């Protein structure tokens, strides 16, 4: 009996000591993991430390970002991104990415930002933050000679229309009443190929892209009517990357002030779009 009483007393003291004492310390590895997952806004510091900013682009979007005949990545966004990175004091690594997976890739941290002529929409603003740098509208592109006599987006009613999958052009096309069939493609190269082959009767496309095809291949394509649904275009950053967002805004303001933006704009569009 005496031994039982002694055991109960020892047990009671141990329980009280545990209740009043401090919680056991986390292993060092667990603390490190908490610091990494709990911190926000450190992307810019990592970029400066590594000396490079990783930028996702859809390289099928001329004249914004595409491959030339030597397979070199060129375009308005490419030149502007290089100018911006110079202001940030880092180099650029472009990450070609299919458009339908470009936002998930940012979330998965495969790159730091998206700079690929992405229109700023309310839906996208729920997922990422934006740094605006220009505006782009939509236009209707047709085969040269305009065999269907299309003069505006309304004339696409009853027609087979092509768009890039997941783009604002697709959203704009869905608002046109009476479209016979809406075909979606991963890149505009395929869209215009099918337009040239007569598989499409019209294309809804970002104005810069449509006018590029009209200028470079006037015997194959044309743009009809006026532009519509002009929307701001921005660099997409992950939510919480506030320091990176602020530094990008400063860099864009600088290249607009020092004339580099105007120089790039005139090279690709023939006009200065720095004030738009």
Instruction: Concatenate the DSSP letters of all residues of 100-148 into one string.
Output: GGHHHHHHTTSSSEEEEEEE--HHHHTTEEEEEEEEEEEEEEEETT-TT
pLDDT in tens, 68-104: 999 999 999 999 999 999 999 999 999 999 999 999 9
Kindly state the average pLDDT of the residues 142-160: 96
Name the more confident of 78 and 21.
78
Residue 99: per-residue pLDDT: 92
Selection from 109, 20, 94 nearest residue 55 by Cα:
94
Kindly state the average pLDDT of the residues 133-162: 95
Residue 150 has pLDDT above 70, yes or no: yes
Return d(Cα 143, Cα 32) in angstroms, integer. 59
Residue 18 has pLDDT above 90, yes or no: no
Confidence bin at 202 (pLDDT 50/70/90) = very high
Residue 260 has pLDDT above 60, yes or no: yes
Q: Which helix (H) or strand (E) holds 230?
A: strand 221-238
Q: Tell me the CATH number of domain 137-230, given options 3.40.640.10, 3.40.190.10, 2.60.120.10, 1.10.8.80.
A: 3.40.190.10
CB 227 within 8 A of CB 111: no
- Fold (topology level) of 42-135+233-269: D-Maltodextrin-Binding Protein; domain 2 (3.40.190)
Return d(Cα 88, Cα 51) in angstroms, integer. 9
Return d(Cα 79, Cα 85) in angstroms, integer. 10
Name the more confident of 41 and 100.
100
Residue 13: per-residue pLDDT: 42
CB 185 within 8 A of CB 166: no
Residue 40: per-residue pLDDT: 52
Task: Give the global pTM.
Answer: 0.71
Residue 109 has pLDDT above 60, yes or no: yes
Residue 23: per-residue pLDDT: 43
- Token pair, residue 6, equals 């002694």
Residue 217 has pLDDT above 70, yes or no: yes
Kindly state the average pLDDT of the residues 39-65: 90
- Token pair, residue 153, equals 């987006």
CB 65 within 8 A of CB 77: yes
Residue 117 has pLDDT above 50, yes or no: yes
- Token pair, residue 25, equals 């310390």
Kindly state the average pLDDT of the residues 267-276: 82
In the chain, which segments carry CATH 3.40.190.10? 42-135+233-269, 137-230
Highest-pLDDT range among 7-11, 108-112, 163-167: 108-112
């Amino acid at each position: 009996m005496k031994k039982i009483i002694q055991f109960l007393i020892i047990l009671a003291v141990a329980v009280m000591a545990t209740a009043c004492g401090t919680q056991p310390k986390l292993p060092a590895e667990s603390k490190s993991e908490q610091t990494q997952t709990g911190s926000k806004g450190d992307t810019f510091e990592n970029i400066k430390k590594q000396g490079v900013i990783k930028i996702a682009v859809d390289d099928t979007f001329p004249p914004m970002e595409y491959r030339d005949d030597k397979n070199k990545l060129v375009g308005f966004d490419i030149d502007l991104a290089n100018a911006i990175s110079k202001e940030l004091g880092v180099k650029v690594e472009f990450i070609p990415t299919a458009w339908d997976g470009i936002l998930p890739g940012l979330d998965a941290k495969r790159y730091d930002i998206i700079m690929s002529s992405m229109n700023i929409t309310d839906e996208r603003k729920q997922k990422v933050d934006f740094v605006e740098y220009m505006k782009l509208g939509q236009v209707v592109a047709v085969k040269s000679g305009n065999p269907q006599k299309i003069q505006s987006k309304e004339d696409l009613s009853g027609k087979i229309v092509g768009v890039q999958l997941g783009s604002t052009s697709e959203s704009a096309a869905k608002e046109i009443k009476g479209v016979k069939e809406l075909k979606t493609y991963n890149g505009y190269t395929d869209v215009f190929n099918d337009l040239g082959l007569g598989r499409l009767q019209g294309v809804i496309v970002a104005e810069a892209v449509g006018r590029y095809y009209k200028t470079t291949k006037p015997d194959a394509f044309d743009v009809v009517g006026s532009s519509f649904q002009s929307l701001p275009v921005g660099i997409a950053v992950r939510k919480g990357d506030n320091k990176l967002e602020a530094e990008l805004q400063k860099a864009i303001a600088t290249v607009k002030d020092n004339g580099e933006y105007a120089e790039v704009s005139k090279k690709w569009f023939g006009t200065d779009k720095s004030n738009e």
